[in-house]
Amino acid sequence: MATEKVVPTEHELQGLDLSNPEVIELIHHAQESDAADRQLTVRQALKKYKKAVFWAMFLSTSLIMEGYDLVIITSFYAQSQFQNRFGSFDETSGTNLITPAWQSGLSNSAVVGQLAGLLVNAYCQDRFGCRVTMMIFMGWMTVTIFIPFFAPSLSVLAFGEAMCGISWGVFQTLSTAYASEVVPTVLRPYVTAYVCMCWGAGILLSSGVVRAVAGVEGDLAWRLPFALQWVWPIPLMIGAYLAPESPWNSVRRDKVDEARESLMRLREDSPDREREVNATLAYIRHTTALEKAETGDASFWECFHGTNLRRTEINCVVWAAQILCGNAILGYSVLFLRAAGFSEIQAFNINISLSACYIVGGVICWFLFPHLGRATIYMSGLTFMFVCLITIGGLGFASGKNIEMAIGILLVISTLCNMITIGPACYPIVAETPSGRLRYKTIAIGRFVYNLTGIFSNSVTPRMLSPIGWNWGAKSALFYAGTNLLCNIWCWFRLPETKDRSFGEIDLLFDNKVPARKFKYTKVDQFARQNDYETKVAAVEHLENQP
């Protein structure tokens, strides 16, 4: 395929005085940093930036709490102790059941809280930085856990889930953005995919806890899992206090000295550390200056203006496809398995296997990143899950023990596929596509759409699966096979490939309106015009010095 080349536009360079020696020196340092970044292998980057990797992974651990509670509440819908405490008697089954309306209400209450948290985070990170924002909402989380733990009714439990959801909404975007900004380009997919693995670790932990308390009598069976959430906030609050700030965040808040200090802390000590830090800082300042011409005052409105609208669209659809790919069924796996004919204990046991896929799949995806692009991994996962969903939906029209086993196996396979491809690949895509000055806001908008999609899913999926609802059972998979196909068609035409691209290169590709299918093959020189200017100046000086 023929390659094209893009360079900075005159509009992007209007804020840079190329006749100023200080600006020229800044650009030289930025070029030096960009060139050094490209030469790093994964092994070299891990050795050089082990501190940055540690802090990125440590703060991402906050997502364990979100994955833990969001899935634990859906598991309670099929737990007999929770049903006996809060359920309504169903004459058909002869047992207490949580009505589909309350299932939707409880799940959506947490999502509504997250929507508020996303908006709050977009403001707080830009104003106060990542560390302070993390500490504030870890404290909030510590207090709000008391509400679901002592909830006497479903309405109070729903309120408690909403209050906890505010913190989860903050952690969703904060962890992804921070992880992408503190490590070099070559490590970015690994630390952002680790965010997804933390979310999966929370799901695995919740599956094990729910299975462990299955034999506990009374309210303690559902209160104990809530109480375990108090393990996380205090250590993470202390860690956030000790962590270095994101240098990109510091530069955007005009705290250059703070950015330099963070960069010194994020890399290993070496004779050239100070020179390398100055070069990296110059690159961040240079890229931020170019972005400033495109993003104006960096308000939410700018996310829907000009080329940033395309970046926002990508974030929104890639996030929404996380649910519409069929993951909505996986979130209700215990309920889905019960509807397919499995016993309560069998459903909990298989759910543990499903949850383990989040960890195993994430590790496997790490080995795919050096060889395959993000878009390739993402679309391949959608295609494979589509086949699994069609098969599961078809089996829903049959019955028998072998059919139940086949559905359980396919559910495990599709979950593993999801967590090898769609789940981990989503995070580097949504972290890399926004411009730096709008990164927090764009990710927040994308995650906002994700949560709205979750509200839709939480409203229809329980009704699809519940015997006192639509009672579709395994046939529900056919609905999500259709949404999966629509998402994959969009990806083919609109999802660009950002593998091995620096933030500055991605900015230029979007600013020059390069089509998604050409992202991979287009050459980018973000310093071209500056170099042309210097060449002309040097030529003029040479002629003037001639006798």
Q: Examine residue 433 and state whether it is found in any structural domain, yes or no.
A: yes
Name the 3-class secondary structure at 524.
strand
Global pTM value: 0.74
Higher per-residue pLDDT: 473 or 521? 521
User: Which CATH number characterizes residue 493's domain?
Assistant: 1.20.1250.20
Q: How confident is the model at residue 526 (pLDDT cuts 50, 70, 90)?
A: low
Supply the DSSP symbol for 296.
T
* Number of folded domains that form the chain: 1
pLDDT band at 385 (very low <50, low <70, confident <90, very high): very high
DSSP letters for 421-482? THHHHHHHHHHHSS-GGGHHHHHHHHHHHHHHHHHHHHHHHHHHH-TTTT--GGGHHHHHHH
Residue 441's pLDDT band, with cuts at 50, 70 and 90, is confident
| Residue 43, both tokens | 């092994």
Q: What is the mean pLDDT of the chain?
A: 80
- Alpha-carbon span 541 to 532, nearest angstrom: 14
Q: How confident is the model at residue 340 (pLDDT cuts 50, 70, 90)?
A: low
Domain with 220, as residue range(s), is 5-541
Is residue 373 helix, strand or coil?
Answer: coil
Residue type, 306: G
Give Cα separations from 27 to 24, 90, 125, 179 (angstroms).
5, 71, 27, 25
Percent residues over pLDDT 70 in the chain: 84
Q: Report pLDDT digits (tens) over 352-365.
A: 777 777 788 888 98
Is 48 a member of any domain? yes
Q: Residue 337: which of 103, 77, 73 has the closest Cα? A: 77
For residues 78 and 335, what is the distance between their CA atoms, to the nearest angstrom? 6
Strand extents, DSSP E, 33-137: 88-90, 95-97
| Residue 125 confidence (pLDDT) above 50 | yes
Quick check: helix, strand or coil at residue 374? helix
Residue 358 lies in a domain: yes
Is residue 546 in some structural domain?
Answer: no
d(CA 127, CA 281): 20
Token pair 């080329």 in the structure block, residue: 307
**Residue 92 falls inside a structural domain:** yes
pLDDT in tens, 65-79: 777 877 787 778 777
In a domain, 547, yes or no: no
Task: Identify whether the C-beta of residue 289 lies closer than 8 Å to the C-beta of residue 15.
Answer: yes
Give the residues across from 524 on adjacent strands.
6
